[in-house]
Amino acid sequence: MNAHMRFDIDYVIRHLPDFGPAILTALELLLLALAIAFAWGILLAIGRLSKGPLRGAAAAYIEFFRNTPLLIQLYFAFFALPSLGIRLDAFETGVAALAAQHSAFFAEIFRGTIQSVASGQREAGYALGMVPGQLMRYVVLPQALRNAVPAMGNQVILLLQDTALVSTIGVYEITLQGRTLAERSAASFEMFVAVGLIYLVLSTIFSLLLRVVEQGCRIVK
């Protein structure tokens, strides 16, 4: 082994195209989990701010998922759900676990921005004869969601990073692709430098995209 300290860039470049499908899988994981976590997060936030019995249930859900690691939730979903008769493949399990955890964080973001909608807005809505459901849909949520965009952008980057964990249950996304190629060669370190760079490029692209969305969503431009 005289390969010591020699950075084997050729092997990495030769296998770079192998990352194409892996990147697509990671993006699929990201977008599906994001869509579910977004919708579920809104419902959780509304539940958390309601007065009924849903309040406690939503709070318990949010605190549970915020205070336990995603990795062990992922293992639990992978090993325990089948015995409940819920049969999901590894990819679907990954989407479910990512969405379940990140919806709790989205809910906290939405809770904050829903609460910060000026009370005059609600009063005006009621004065116009709106019922609470209409008020939420047409007055409060549109403003709350716009104000949530910067914090959501941060959360999307964290979600992108968390897709790496799905490699542990055998989904061929970027990290597992990197591990497989690393194990097949002496260029393990080089491979993970490439994997790190891929994530860095992806999160940079997402940050830039999110900044554009942020500009477009500003209420006062």
- Is the distance from CB of 198 to CB of 174 less than 8 angstroms? yes
User: Distance from CA of residue 105 to its chain's centroid?
Assistant: 9
Closest CA to 64 of 44, 91, 82: 44
Q: Taking CB under 8 A as the rule, does residue 167 contact another protein?
A: yes
Residue 18 neighbours by CB distance under 10 Å: 13
Q: Taking CB under 8 A as the rule, does residue 56 contact another protein?
A: no
Q: How many Cα atoms are found within 13 Å in the side-chain-facing hemisphere of 197?
A: 10
Closest CA to 27 of 210, 179, 174, 186: 174
Q: Taking CB under 8 A as the rule, does residue 4 contact another protein?
A: yes
Q: How far is the CB of 5 from another protein (least distance, A)?
A: 7
CA–CA separation, 157 and 15 (whole Å): 26
**Stretch near another protein under the rule CB under 8 A, chosen from 31-39, 127-135, 138-146, 162-170:** 162-170
- Site residue total, another protein (CB under 8 A): 38
CA–CA separation, 213 and 152 (whole Å): 11
Q: Taking CB under 8 A as the rule, does residue 115 contact another protein?
A: no
Nearer to another protein, 36 or 195 (CB): 195
| Interaction mask 60-99, another protein, x per CB under 8 A | ---xx-xxxxxxx--xx--xx--x----------------
Binding site for another protein (CB under 8 A): 4-5, 63-64, 66-72, 75-76, 79-80, 83, 157, 161-162, 164-165, 167-168, 175, 178-179, 182, 188-189, 191-193, 195-196, 199-200, 203-204
